[in-house]
Chains A and B, each alone.
Chain A
């Protein structure tokens, strides 16, 4: 049976080619399609369209001389171009399955599971192997992150009364100044990783995007709290900035994620909880509480991904160890934590300049450092480090916390 399609009054300049394409689709190359219709330019259009798409109009129906109008049916012989174009096409993995072990750079930006036409420029992504970027928990963490996005304008009651003694307020402002600096580093790092990640690892890409968005909000709320009392912001120390900048320079996906999320943001969980606990006002307590919730997800991915890689390759522990040691030696000559930040933490916990209060604050900060250390050791042990090595590496972590 001959294939036919009737375009009625539809022209090829008005979408009629969709019907022709649909009718040609099931035919093999060389198959014939009869097109009927009443559009006055149907034959002229069909001849031009077929030529452009590698099909042919049979001579009998091409018409000649001055003959115009739709005339009788037009017979088309299907060409081979469509089949040739898709001959070497391959699917970019499976849409509903986990990502492939190796993402082909030639898949480029194609959706996972899409049928990818051969050709075009390969994507310049550095991370194309699943083991180097993946964690099984990534899809769930992304879903949780997407569901937990909060609006800085409404999640914090910015109109709450601010009755903080001047000197305590200065300590809060100093801490906020320090937090902004750290969150800016924590924003740039996932953004940088994102730019070198093969999009085949969709859930990791999405998670890193939410991570960067989280940090953007943190930068906003910490800045806003820092300026709430109308004063200038606090100080930024050279040593603190140097410590953060070593993170920006980390070239490898996993070591960058390990140093930032497992050790840095892991340590920050304790810091933010401490600020929340000792906050002299509701706004400070709120911004710390909101940030710690987001940071917990970042830490969870960093730990899960690093553990995933180590489970596949134990020797990777050596690479992680080296990254900690390298960062430590790079920072040997720097002062570490901004003393103004440290003193501010003491004052925040003390709540006043009374000697007894300062003593309480001092002890609280010592306890904070101990719990930071304990948290790092626990996460390092989870990843696969023996306890003694975990303790040693935790001790080498930057004094600047992040």
Chain B
């Protein structure tokens, strides 16, 4: 098939609205022969990208990490295309109840931490890596470690795009049999505060990760260079002042597309290795991960 085919993960029904809208704009004013397909999880999308079954993939940060490893193992080249302005310099936080005696990460020794889904970079992998930097070994409830991890597996395979698990982890700070700390991304800490899930003043931020980057658009080996370049230019040229594009950009959660950068994924690469989530060749090694 000619043209450029993008893969995206259907983590929410709005994904259809977004990519139908972008497709119409890319084909119409953009003049690009473009289509998209949807995946139920990121693992299959990444495998298809590297195998050349889709030309570009709208990747989560974890999907990028796996794609990079798979491509390197197979000698295949990937080309970063673009990212959203909202994908840069995110942080995850470890929050405790405001009146908690826990004053530092080290105080979490022997306590329980609530996280998002097993494959959530922002609410599981990165914050657990932060715990390790403080010398703590996170472990499952029946495992051997310093901190017990209570995971809230919602939307497994969506790499944390579904925030249900994160919200459950936040709620668990105040539930029956509460957790001592909860791991959430900064924007959800604010969101849960505004929703009343974490009433203002009810929690304290114990620690935060260094900044990291989130989603990235990646072209795979089957993508035509000229089309990929044109696709990138069109995305970068999308104007928030355009009344037809603005609702789509709002749905996708950005004001502007930016050039890609790859240095923001080092933290996650490390977290993936520490957790043994993927191996160096990109094979899934996490035994309890069923996307």
Contact = CB atoms under 8 A, between A and B. Distances in A.
6 contacts: A11-B200, A64-B211, A67-B208, A84-B240, A85-B246, A87-B241
A55 to B, nearest CB: 9
A67 B105 CA distance: 12
Contacts of B193: 11-14, 41, 45
B110 interface: no
A119 B206 CA distance: 43
Contact of B240 (A47, A62, A80): A80
A119 B243 CA distance: 5
Given A13-B198, A64-B211, A88-B243, 15 more contacts: A12-B193, A14-B193, A40-B205, A47-B186, A48-B190, A51-B86, A52-B253, A62-B211, A64-B210, A68-B205, A68-B208, A69-B205, A83-B241, A84-B246, A87-B241
Contacts of B244: 119
Contacts of A48: 185-187, 189-190
Contact of B89 (A44, A47, A54): A47
Closest 9 A/B residue pairs (Cβ): A13-B193, A119-B243, A84-B241, A54-B255, A14-B200, A118-B243, A48-B187, A48-B186, A84-B240
B240 A81 contact: yes
B247 interface: yes
A14 B202 CA distance: 12
B90 interface: yes
Given A11-B200, A44-B189, A45-B189, A79 B210 contact: no
A11 B193 CA distance: 9
Contacts of B102: none
A97 interface: no
Interface of A: 11-14, 40-41, 44-45, 47-49, 51-52, 54, 62-69, 79-81, 83-85, 87-88, 117-120
B105 to A, nearest CB: 7
Interface size class of B (residues with CB under 8 A): 35 or more
Contacts of B187: 48, 51-52
B132 interface: no
B85 interface: yes
B99 to A, nearest CB: 13
Decide if the interface of chain A is mainly helix, strand, loop or mixed: loop
Contact of A52 (B86, B198, B203): B86
A234 B22 CA distance: 63
Contacts of B255: 54, 79-81, 84
Contacts of A66: 105, 130, 134, 207-208
A54 B84 CA distance: 11
Interface of B: 85-86, 88-91, 93, 105, 130, 134, 185-187, 189-190, 193-194, 198, 200-201, 203-208, 210-211, 239-241, 243-244, 246-247, 253, 255-256
A54 to B, nearest CB: 4
A51 B86 CA distance: 6
A120 B245 CA distance: 11
Given A40-B205, A66-B105, A67-B208, A45 B190 contact: yes
Contacts of A65: 208, 210
Contacts of A84: 239-241, 246, 255
Nearest to A119: B243
Given A64-B210, A79-B255, A85-B246, A13 B190 contact: yes
A54 B256 contact: yes
Nearest to A55: B255
Contact of A41 (B189, B210, B211): B189
A48 B185 CA distance: 9
A240 to B, nearest CB: 51
Contacts of B85: 51, 54
Contacts of B203: 41
Contacts of A69: 205
Nearest to B245: A119
Nearest to B194: A13
A62 B134 CA distance: 21
Contacts of A120: 243, 247
B291 to A, nearest CB: 28
Contacts of A83: 241
A51 B255 CA distance: 9
Contacts of B189: 41, 44-45, 48
B241 A12 contact: no
B86 A85 contact: no
Given A66-B105, A68-B208, A85-B246, A44 B241 contact: no
Nearest to B241: A84
A64 B246 CA distance: 33
A41 B205 contact: yes
Contact of B186 (A14, A44, A85): A44
A44 B91 contact: yes
B46 to A, nearest CB: 26
A296 B42 CA distance: 69
Contacts of A14: 193, 200-201
